[in-house]
Amino acid sequence: MHDIKYIRAHAEEFEQKLKRRGEDVNVEELINLDTHKREIIQNIDRMRERRNAASKETGVRKKSGQNIDELRSEVLEIGAKLKEAESNLRELDERINNWLLPLPNIPSDQTPEGLTEKDNEFIRDWGEPPEFDFELLDHLAIGERLDILDFKRGSNITGSGFPVWSGAGAGLERALINFMLDLHTNEYGYREMMTPFLANRNSMEGTGQIPKLEYDMYRIDKDDLFLLPTSEVTLVNLHRGEIIPETDLPIKYVAYSPCFRREAGAYGRTTRGFLRTHQFNKVELVRFEKPENSYQVLDELLGNAEEVLRKLDLHYRVVKLCAGELPFAAAVCYDIEVWAPADGGRWLEVSSCSNTEAFQARRANIRYRPVDGSKPQFVNILNGSGLATSRLMVALLETYQTQEGSLIVPPVLRSYMGGKTLVTA
């Protein structure tokens, strides 16, 4: 959510910043609504002041035996006008809220210019692309050969885009999740949370998934609940409507959840298997920080996510997204892309690490109270995948395959799989 006071004072600047994202917005309507709202509030204040004075004078006159009919009529008339004005105010608040809710966050000055993927900025890479002296299989062929992955049965159960892991495949998926949770809790000090896998409308609005992205979410109509697109939703909303003592900051959460997204778009070879799924597993990182610390913390959070790939010894790169590619709530965002070597090789996004600054905090009304007792301020909220397992598993299966048809278990995962070093058919 945007600060109406900022928009009022910097209307042209606000429009230009949204244009960087490809959003063409004219805020004149909003300014007019806000002006009308402030006029109504001033009128309400005047009427309340007069009603209070008339009520007080009524008591004095009544005590002295004077006629109070005229004053009583005035109080009743003011009350009726107040009721109408307060109704108009509620309607204006709703119109202003509906105007602001679909607008994405404005880009940070650190965000590169541009509207498409080609404008993203390369930051760094790590490791080297693996080399093979045999013909590689893609992740679907490997999964079928080892009998550990079955999209056909998942399709029979639910529909396309819902995978079934079996045997060592299920064990490998669970090992990845546990490894990432242990890494972030034991080495980086995140507090593990297990939250609901459903969220209400207020929670989805608080993190920015709806109203604009509602079509891409799975919804239970009867209860108006949404299957989680990411546990970022529930982790952020743990503190919705709260004022956090400054001494409690920073707050660092990590959680595993299954994630559900419609992911509308065409199918094809580049979207087969785990390259396009409606359900996947993810370990999510969320941090609540003071504004002056948030960009230093973004670098730290990014490093936490990168360490997963370093420990798995998978080649990856980091790119900073241009303004037109930013997620809805992000002011700045880095993507981590892992190298999957089959089919000539391709980069697959496995994490997005974002600073939403005060955007989500304002939508969810999450503030902190400074230790000096000054007015509460909005926290800055950061999030990042640490990591999503679906495309990560694509890279892992393709990188660790052997010529003999087996799969090497990455050393860092072996303790989670009972010491197993090799998955065989």
The tens place of each residue's pLDDT in the chain, 425 residues long, gives 899 999 999 999 999 999 999 999 989 999 999 999 999 999 999 999 999 998 888 888 888 888 888 888 888 999 999 999 999 999 999 999 999 999 999 999 999 999 999 999 999 999 999 999 999 999 999 999 999 999 999 999 999 999 999 999 999 999 999 999 999 999 999 999 999 999 999 999 999 999 989 999 999 999 999 999 999 999 999 999 999 999 999 999 999 999 999 864 434 444 566 777 999 999 999 999 999 999 999 999 999 999 999 999 999 999 999 999 999 999 999 999 999 999 899 999 999 999 999 999 999 999 999 999 999 999 999 999 999 999 999 999 999 999 999 999 999 999 999 999 999 98
Q: How far apart are CA 75 and CA 72, in angstroms?
A: 5
CA distance 221 to 224: 5
191: annotated active-site residue: no
Q: From CA 351, how far away is CA 306, in angstroms rounded?
A: 9
In the chain the domains, ranked by start, together with CATH numbers, are: 4-100 (1.10.287.40), 117-423 (3.30.930.10)
Beta bridge partners of 165: 149
Active site annotation includes 246:
no
Q: What is the pLDDT of residue 59?
A: 85
As a whole number of Å, the end-to-end CA separation of the chain is 52
Q: How far, in Å, are 8, 87, 146 from residue 43 at the CA level?
A: 20, 13, 74
Q: Known catalytic residue: 406?
A: no
CB-based burial label for 213 (10 Å; 0-12, 13-18, 19+): middle
pLDDT at 135: 94
Q: Indicate which residue of 351, 352, 354, 390 is catalytic.
A: 352
CA proximity to 389, closest of 237, 239, 230, 236: 230
Question: Is 369 one of the annotated active-site residues of the chain?
Answer: no
Provide CB contacts within 8 A for 227, sequence distance 6+.
197, 198, 217, 218, 219, 220, 260
d(CA 341, CA 316): 11
Catalytic position from the list 21, 261, 287, 367: 261
**Residue 401 carries which DSSP code?**
B
Q: How far apart are CA 53 and CA 363, in angstroms?
A: 38
Instruction: Look at residues 21, 393, 398, 341 and name the one whose alpha carbon lies nearest to residue 176.
Output: 393
Token digits for 256? Answer: 């595993």
CA 51 → CA 40, 69, 83, 177, distances in Å? 16, 14, 13, 63
48 noted as active-site residue: no
Nearest-10 Cα torsion for 333, 339, 340, 342:
140
In Å, the largest CA–CA distance within the chain is 107
Q: What is the pLDDT of residue 64?
A: 84
Q: What is the DSSP letter of 175?
A: H
Q: How far apart are CA 150 and CA 364, in angstroms?
A: 40
Q: Which of these is catalytic: 74, 242, 307, 349? A: 349
- Of the candidates 20, 276, 363, 367, the residue annotated as catalytic is 276
